[in-house]
Structure 1
Amino acid sequence: MTFRPRRSVLYMPGSNARALEKAKTLPADCLILDLEDAVAPDAKETARDQVAAAVRQGGYGPREVIIRINGLTTPWGEDDLKAAAAANPDAILIPKVSALQDLAGIEGMLQQAGAAPDLALWAMMETPLAMLNAGTIAAASTDTCPRLAAFVMGTNDLAKETGALLVEGRAPMLPWLMNCLAAARAYRLDILDGVYNDFGNAEGFAAECRQGVELGMNGKTLIHPKQIEPCNAAFSATAEEVERARAIIAAFDLPENANKGTIQLDGRMVERLHADMARRTVAIADAIAARTS
């Protein structure tokens, strides 16, 4: 199995040239160079040109680079999409995807813009309709939008649109987070948790990272560089967990266990599904180690 770690996914304002340069030194797994929320209307075109130039120049090392465009119904969206496709980042993030039709036509536009075949699309899940249509949107990855690779939860916009409060423990958000996670997993998409706004509250941020891990998220979107290291730690398996996973794999690889669905290991019953989970744990740990080295 091959994995790209997506533990920490940092938003960077596309209008800030110094931030785009600083991003090349940060230990984030992914960088979202933002043309939408972080950019004022009168700076949209400048930000577009600046981000496209930065991506073409490169220098971001193993970091996955994503451009978040403005919505295709805005005055800037189509030009953003064309410029992003020409710059050739790892992915383009589409905001406010609410239904299948929001992805319709994007493939044709990308091909016309000369997009690389491996350019991926990520979808912001941040509206009430998106919560209702999550399964249909995810299913687009199998036919109408094969580039679709990930969901990004937009919890701030969800709170705005629904009136739900962003409280400790996120009880109002949990049904929507898990609904989108189930849809993503049903169609083999990654899913990234929403941001934590109080970047000065280290304890609260750590708790929300732990919750994201428990929910099954691949990683978390971030708004400040100081959130990167604790996020990476939270979404990384511990040395003990990796050692345990390797032991499970080794046990099932023994000839005498080749046809067994369950075995006993260190006094515990282990099923073959645990071996599949262990292989994923080890693959992600190896990918993280390779990136660190």
Structure 2
Amino acid sequence: MSSVVPRRTALYVPGSHARAVEKAPHLGADVVIFDLEDAVAPDAKAEARRRVAEALAAPAGPERVIRINGLDTPWGAEDLAAAVAARPDAILIPKVSSGAEVERVRAAIRAMDGAAAISLWAMIETPRAVLNPLDIAASRDEMLPLAAFVLGLNDLSRETGTRQVPGRAPMLPWMMNTLAAARIAGLAVLDGVFNDIADTAGFAAECAVARDCGFDGKTVIHPAQIAPCNAAFSPSGEELAEAERIVTAFALPENAGRGAIALGGRMVERLHAEIAARRIAFAAAIARREAMPDDGAAGREAV
């Protein structure tokens, strides 16, 4: 079975905010994205790099990702050098529009002294990116693999004039295009942020849509969004019970050679057993992650 890594909730944290940087790894998010880009003012970039590097020096349970500024900005080269030196679990590249842009980042990392293997994540937030995400997803490298897509719907809204309305009907084609490309390449894919922190019902509805669409999780901007997001992207008790019934039924000797069986009044195919097994493995990975102390990293291990 392929690796199972919970990425239900990825919390953005401004790298320049000392208290937020300190607290973020202990708030229950599966991923913490230390932001050096949009959330940090130009005159605070250097201080943000220093704070994030200090945070990465201490062990923590969640995956830790650093979002850099683009290499075409005044801060990108220094951000990338600082991120590589800090050794996060991944570096998040903003505003990626082509596979060539991912390779440009790889080339810059290879040119650094002491460069080591590290995963790259790509922000999908430009019109060109959502029209051809497969070009980005197909960019491969063993030492510097592309591991995840992160939607940036605020930037897409700004660049296209598309309104972010309840249900996100205008953006669903872009979301599904991105998800399909990610699945072809074996990448994780995270939904964009929900801006209205006070609108808990709206946030829950948006999480439900993203999960129904097949997303692995969602990026969030406030600690209050972590628990409901984790719940939304976790299998429910009923889903797990049904998964166990399906796996158990197909494990019976009399069903060993069957492609489909009758279970609970409906026909269940072997592909449903595969889906059920993945759901059970995902729940087990979540349980291990949530049982880990803050100073452990085993929650990122594959199963």
Please give the TM-score of this superposition, normalised by the length of structure 2. 0.92
Aligned twin of 2:297: none
Partner SS state of residue 198, structure 2: coil
Q: Is the 8 A contact 1:104 1:144 kept in 2?
A: no
Q: Could you tell me how far apart the structure 1 residues matched to 2:185 and 2:248 are?
A: 29
Moved more, 173-182 or 262-271: 262-271
Q: Report whether the alignment pairs 1:53 with 2:54.
A: yes
Aligned twin of 2:199: 201
CA drift at 1:4 = 1.3
Partner SS state of residue 260, structure 1: coil
CA drift at 1:174 = 0.6
CA drift at 1:109 = 2.8
Aligned twin of 2:9: 8
Q: Could you tell me how far apart the structure 2 residues matched to 1:153 and 1:266 are?
A: 39
Q: Could you tell me how far apart the structure 2 residues matched to 1:238 and 1:144 are?
A: 36
Q: Is the 8 A contact 1:192 1:218 kept in 2?
A: yes
Partner SS state of residue 84, structure 1: helix
Aligned pairs (5 A) from 1:31-50: 31-50=32-51
Q: Is the 8 A contact 2:13 2:20 kept in 1?
A: yes
Please give the TM-score of this superposition, normalised by the length of structure 1. 0.95
Q: Could you tell me how far apart the structure 1 residues matched to 2:104 and 2:57 are?
A: 25
How many residue pairs get aligned? The number is 289
Q: Could you tell me how far apart the structure 2 residues matched to 1:231 and 1:272 are?
A: 30
Aligned twin of 1:74: 73
Higher relative contact order (CA 8 A, sep 6+): 2
CA drift at 1:73 = 0.8
Aligned twin of 1:86: 85
1:246 to 244, 247, 254: 244
The one-letter amino acid of 2:23's match is K
Q: Could you tell me how far apart the structure 1 residues matched to 2:104 and 2:25 are?
A: 33
The one-letter amino acid of 1:185's match is R
Q: Is the 8 A contact 1:103 1:145 kept in 2?
A: no
Residues 214-245 of structure 1 show CA distances to partners (whole Å, capped at 9, x for unaligned) of 11100000011100011011111111111111
Structure 2 gap segments, 5+ residues each: 292-303
CA drift at 1:111 = 3.4
Q: Percent identity?
A: 58
Aligned twin of 1:277: 275
Q: Could you tell me how far apart the structure 2 residues matched to 1:161 and 1:52 are?
A: 32
Q: Could you tell me how far apart the structure 2 residues matched to 1:243 and 1:109 are?
A: 48
Q: Could you tell me how far apart the structure 2 residues matched to 1:186 and 1:145 are?
A: 20
- Residues 183, 145 of structure 1: CA spacing in aligned structure 2 closer, same or farther, 3 A cutoff? farther
Aligned twin of 2:133: 134
Aligned twin of 2:106: 107
Q: Could you tell me how far apart the structure 2 residues matched to 1:176 and 1:77 are?
A: 27
Residues 76-107 of structure 1 show CA distances to partners (whole Å, capped at 9, x for unaligned) of 11221121111111110000000121112323
Aligned twin of 1:19: 20
The Cα RMSD (Å) is 1.4
Q: Is the 8 A contact 2:116 2:143 kept in 1?
A: no
The one-letter amino acid of 1:218's match is D
- Residues 204, 120 of structure 1: CA spacing in aligned structure 2 closer, same or farther, 3 A cutoff? same
The one-letter amino acid of 1:93's match is L
Aligned twin of 2:298: none
Q: Could you tell me how far apart the structure 1 residues matched to 2:282 and 2:142 are?
A: 29
Q: Is the 8 A contact 2:70 2:94 kept in 1?
A: yes
Q: Could you tell me how far apart the structure 2 residues matched to 1:183 and 1:49 are?
A: 35
The one-letter amino acid of 1:260's match is R
Aligned twin of 1:156: 154
Q: Could you tell me how far apart the structure 2 residues matched to 1:287 and 1:115 are?
A: 30
Q: Could you tell me how far apart the structure 2 residues matched to 1:92 and 1:232 are?
A: 22
Q: Is the 8 A contact 1:123 1:148 kept in 2?
A: yes
